[in-house]
Structure 1
Amino acid sequence: MYLYDKDASAGMDALYEQHAGAIFDYLRHRTPTRQDAEDILLDVFTAAMEDRKFAHLAEREQVSWLWRVARNKAVDAFRRLRVRQCLTLEQISEMIDDDHLLDPERAALQLDYVAQVQQLMTHLSPLQQEIIQLRFGYELRCPEIAQVLGKREQAIYTALSRALNLLRSVHTRQ
């Protein structure tokens, strides 16, 4: 097991502060329970601390490494559970902020919007869905998405463009 020195530990603390929330959100939408997402997030950062090469990567590479490991661990957890991904009532309630809970009409409109987006996303391949979610849901840029998914940047740009065009054409037909 590799242990960080004090400087590296401070860097890991900063990485955690900056990126743990977004990675947790990503994991939360891919795991059945909040506890599973928390466990995987802990595994991701533990793996980073144990990896001898991690501390020597540039910050951008470290962030991509964290996202890639989080994605792989979520996929592994999904395969172990062999359950179909769906939103639980707990997940839906977490998506709606307190302001929407005070206004039932706005809450209903928000749920309707989420359902429409989910319906449109079914027209995309799983890879395109993940690219769209990483780009717009987690605000990662195409080079970061490429590193997370282990694809070339140009492939991500092309897949994103095609996915947006497909969504646009499906939406205008409806």
Structure 2
Amino acid sequence: MPQPYMVYMQASDAEFYQRYAPAIFAYLLRNVGSREDAEDLLLDVFLAVLEKRQSADVDEQRLATWIWVVARNKVVDHHRRSKHRTHRDLQTVRETLYENDEQAPEQMALKNEAYQRLHTTLRELPAFQRDIILLRFGHGLSCGEIATVFKKSEGAVRMALHRTLKLLRTLYTKNDEGGSL
């Protein structure tokens, strides 16, 4: 038993479609600009025609006139809807998705990998040197503030920080090359 909301196409409907679809499609395409939107609207137009033919006994001449009215109304509706929604080409979206290239997934993955290598290298440092690096660059403390924390002179902390950074560069380079110190 057929369901009431289903629309079945008869032979005369197929002939009607073949006769009017190319002209209606050309009209829709010219007025909406997007092939996909024109195809969607063409489908909507002919669904309306099939429903009209099924619900009322309409002669083909009146139906041919009515189909152009429906097509025009679908274009108007499309433009009303598109006023509220901006459509952008997928290629344009992809190109501008990440305004800042640093936030692109590839760049974030590379950055995370570099951070992981740095953390691995930091674990190779002695605790005192690791703490100096953490306080200086992780927490933003000045050398004077770090000196207060460790009860050392500011000059000693500066020298320790300099030596630690030099050692860290060496370790990082060695780890990057796959060797060991």
TM-score (norm 2): 0.40
Structure showing greater radius of gyration is: 2
Higher relative contact order (CA 8 A, sep 6+): 1
TM-score (norm 1): 0.42
